[in-house]
């Protein structure tokens, strides 16, 4: 799997796509593969203030319910309504159409502390080897 080079990644398999003072957040292709068929997504309300490391919502698959953690702090500007209606988009296009929330970043420098695509690719390879 190719992970987008302009994204940053967490050890919990979330991604951030920063764009100036805002960023979109989602789960990685590795995460959706581990979850299996995704059947339900719970997202925060627009206006919710997220804190890095805290839960921003849940993803439910046929296997389990998993929390999704905010990789960065910020205020939710938009949620992906298409994902609420069609949660299977997370399985089909996790790095594209299946973004979960868009936030106004509290501290854009937080993204620099996350893994780049090369580091995340290595992290996933090590996880798959165990």
pLDDT more than 70, % of the chain: 100
How would residue 27 be classed by pLDDT, with cut points 50, 70 and 90?
Answer: very high
Task: For 71-112, write each residue's pLDDT tens digit.
Answer: 999 999 999 999 999 999 999 999 999 999 999 999 999 999
8-120: what CATH class? mainly beta
1 has a pLDDT exceeding 80:
no
Query: What number is the average pLDDT over the span 27-38?
Result: 96
| Strand extents, DSSP E, 46-111 | 49-50, 55-61, 65-69, 74-79, 101-105
Task: For 9-23, write each residue's pLDDT tens digit.
Answer: 999 999 999 999 999
Query: What number is the average pLDDT over the span 34-51?
Result: 97
Q: Write down the pLDDT at residue 45.
A: 97
Cα 87 from chain centre: 14
Tell me 34's DSSP state.
H
26 has a pLDDT exceeding 90:
yes
56 has a pLDDT exceeding 90:
yes
Q: What's the mean per-residue pLDDT of the chain? A: 96
Query: What number is the average pLDDT over the span 33-54?
Result: 97
How far CA 103 is from CA of 23, 28, 64, 88, 106, in Å, comes to: 5, 18, 26, 22, 9
How far CA 7 is from CA of 36, 39, 48, 121, 127, in Å, comes to: 23, 25, 23, 12, 20
Q: Write down the pLDDT at residue 129.
A: 87
């Amino acid at each position: 799997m190719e992970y987008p080079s302009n994204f940053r990644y967490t050890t919990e398999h979330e991604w951030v796509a920063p764009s100036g003072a805002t960023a979109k957040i989602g789960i990685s292709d590795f995460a959706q593969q581990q979850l299996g068929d995704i059947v339900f997504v719970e997202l925060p309300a627009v206006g919710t203030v997220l804190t890095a490391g805290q839960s921003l919502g849940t993803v439910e698959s046929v296997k389990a319910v998993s929390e999704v953690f905010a990789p960065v702090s910020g205020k939710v500007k938009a949620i992906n309504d298409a994902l609420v209606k069609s949660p299977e988009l997370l399985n089909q296009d996790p790095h594209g159409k299946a973004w979960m929330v868009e936030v106004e970043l509290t501290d854009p420098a937080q993204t620099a502390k996350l893994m780049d695509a090369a580091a995340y690719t290595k992290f996933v390879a090590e996880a798959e080897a165990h």
